[in-house]
Structure 1
Amino acid sequence: MTDDMWTAEFWDERYSSSERIWSGAPNPHLVDVVGGLVPGSAVDIGCGEGADVLWLAHRGWRATGVDLSQVALDRGAARAAQEGVEATWLQADLLAETLPEQYDLVSAHFVHVPTQLFAPLYTRLGAAVAPGGSLLVVGHHPHDVETEVRHHHGDDILFTPDRVVGLLDPQHWDVRRADAPTRTQRVEDADVTVTDTVVHAVRR
């Protein structure tokens, strides 16, 4: 991966290259973990075209989507208008900026950064969780670097549950889940088994 991958220009160009990049469906681990939580304020980090934000908003969450790409955010806002739900869309670089408030849910799905930026980013995201709120982190597990799906990522940006849990002070966090489940992903008309990192922690 190239250094410019973590810039707004890179992602604006990528989203502009296609009418839609992602499936438009919410991430399954979000549905699984958050489906049983009482709605409150939520922020989705790296929200892309906003599928997770919209899923949250439809279920009563005061949802905010954050992304580097204004192109992606505009797509999310347009879809929210079509579906008649309210959400907030914030263009920000969380490698350099902090979130403007604390939330009852901070969700980050497949937000991968170089090793030296991992701890600063995820520490910042943890600090944005309000007392009693949840941090949900989902990522590609290093096992997947051996598959055709992730081989181009490089194992330096994939991470295990332990890397996330290691940033959470047990005096302040109750780790409810930290595992690496597998799932089937369709890739070029073939089913491929992939492994996800999933961490759900509640701030005391």
Structure 2
Amino acid sequence: MDAEEWNRRYAAAALVWSAEPNRFAAAELDGLPPGRALDLASGEGRNALWLAGKGWQVTAIDYARVAVDKGRERAGQDGLDVDWVVGDVLAYQPPAEGFDLVLIAYLQLPPDQMAQVWALAARAVAPGGTLFAIGHDRANLTDGTGGPQDPDLLWTPEELTRTLVADGLTVDRAERVRREVTTDEGVRHAVDTLVRAHAPIPDLP
């Protein structure tokens, strides 16, 4: 969907996504010392707000203005400071090595566009910093529920590992994870790709 379609979707509900952070992101990132964080395609800001509440200096970017406005409103209500940006992640140019954490959650784009996102995300991670990504896995088509039905938009741990290594990161964890989803037919499970990587610290001369 384009930005206007997402704007209409966000305008049609109080919250399209949960107010709580993604549970995998919260579990993986809770112990990191706060620094500068970048939330790419942040939606209504649930992960950005959670990070800000943990003391991170967060920049959150999404091209759906309605979603960004919702995040900004919640931040004001909760007394949280987030740098909200309305913009397309494909055109965004974050500062090189500018963030201790880059977060990407459920950004499902065609392969050529995702390659651009992974490259800019890898460049944005400071030496020793973390990239965390969670998204719909291709196995979800046969073994899960929900999510995009176009296999070209879905991730796999193996493909994402190769991409991030080629972009200069060291992959620490790459696997498929399952999460419960409540449907009209009862509780089902979705299959996601989870990847955590870091930017190596250069050796001193």
TM-score, normalised on structure 1?
Answer: 0.91
When structure 1 is superposed on structure 2, of 186-195 and 167-176 the one drifting more is: 167-176
Tell me if structure 1 keeps the 8 A contact 2:118–2:164.
no
CA distance in 2, matches of 1:62, 1:171: 25
SS in structure 2 of the partner of residue 166 of structure 1 = helix
Tell me if structure 2 keeps the 8 A contact 1:149–1:187.
no
Q: How does 1:177-188 map to 2 (within 5 A)?
A: 177-188=173-184
String of CA shifts for 1:133-153, please: whole Å, max 9, x gaps: 100111111111134423x53
Going from structure 1 to structure 2, the CA distance change for 1:171 and 1:14 (only over 3 Å counts) comes to closer
Task: Give the partner amino acid of 2:176.
Answer: A
SS in structure 1 of the partner of residue 174 of structure 2 = strand
Going from structure 1 to structure 2, the CA distance change for 1:168 and 1:37 (only over 3 Å counts) comes to same
Task: Give the partner amino acid of 1:187.
Answer: T
Task: Give the partner amino acid of 2:55.
Answer: G
Task: Give the C-alpha shift of residue 118 in structure 1.
Answer: 2.0
Going from structure 1 to structure 2, the CA distance change for 1:171 and 1:93 (only over 3 Å counts) comes to closer
Tell me if structure 1 keeps the 8 A contact 2:131–2:196.
yes
When the two chains are superposed, the root-mean-square deviation of aligned CA atoms in Å is 1.7
Alignment correspondent of 2:86: 91
Q: 2:146 is matched with which residue: 137, 149, 159?
A: 149
CA distance in 1, matches of 2:167, 2:14: 46
Which runs of 5 or more structure 2 residues have no equivalent in the other structure?
201-205
Alignment correspondent of 1:124: 120
Alignment correspondent of 1:25: 20
Task: Give the C-alpha shift of residue 70 in structure 1.
Answer: 1.0
- Say whether residues 1:140 and 2:140 are aligned partners: no
Task: Give the C-alpha shift of residue 196 in structure 1.
Answer: 1.1
TM-score, normalised on structure 2?
Answer: 0.90
The count of corresponding residues between Structure 1 and Structure 2 is 198
Question: Which stretches of structure 1, 4 residues or more, deviate above 3 A after TM superposition?
Answer: 169-172
